[in-house]
Amino acid sequence: MEKLLFIEIGMGCDLHGQDVTKAAVRAVQNAIYRNSMPGLLEILPGGTLDAMKVRVRLAVPCDKDLLDIEQVKAVLPYGAVTVELVDGGMLTTSGIVLPDKADRNDLIYIVNASVEVGY
């Protein structure tokens, strides 16, 4: 990325089911859901969203090999998206195991996201 324009931070969790992809998608959605970038087209080369680059960093506590990166990318509507996984996030207890929610144990998966936009 030649020029970094902004960074948004988000957090997502899966309370039951221990699905790291669900937590990661929620973290990215949390980072971007309250943003509007009306002046971006004036800044991007060629005035097109195709020139936008989006870098997502996900701090993931476990199950990195089970994370579906394509589902994370699908949350972002424009730009060339790259996803990087780093150690981090958190595992904590929900205090209960709910088999009807596909719980394998009582863990809550928490993922942190940094979404960087530039060109």
pLDDT tens-digit readout, 90-112: 999 999 999 999 999 999 999 99
Dist. CA 55–CA 84, nearest whole Å: 8
% of the chain with per-residue pLDDT over 90: 97
Q: Coil, helix or strand for 97?
A: coil
- Reported as a single tens digit per residue, the pLDDT across 46-74 is 999 999 999 999 999 999 999 999 999 99
User: For residue range 21-45, what is the model confidence (pLDDT) as tens digits?
Assistant: 999 999 999 999 999 989 999 999 9
pLDDT at 53: 98
Task: Write down the residue that tokens 């960074």 correspond to.
Answer: 7
**85 or 36, higher pLDDT:** 85
The CA distance from 105 to 49, in Å, is 43
Amino acid at the residue 52: M
In this structure, are residues 114 and 83 in contact, taking their beta carbons and an 8 Å threshold?
Answer: no
* Tokens of residue 56, six digits: 């997502």
| Cα 12 to Cα 7: distance, rounded to the nearest angstrom | 17
Name the nearest CA neighbour of 24 among 53, 77, 78, 61.
61
Within 2-106, strands assigned E span 4-14, 53-60, 80-87, 90-93
Q: Supply the pLDDT for residue 99.
A: 96
- The number of residues in the chain equals 119
The pLDDT value given to residue 26:
98
Q: Quick count: other Cβ atoms within 10 Å of Cβ 100?
A: 6
| pLDDT value at residue 94 | 97
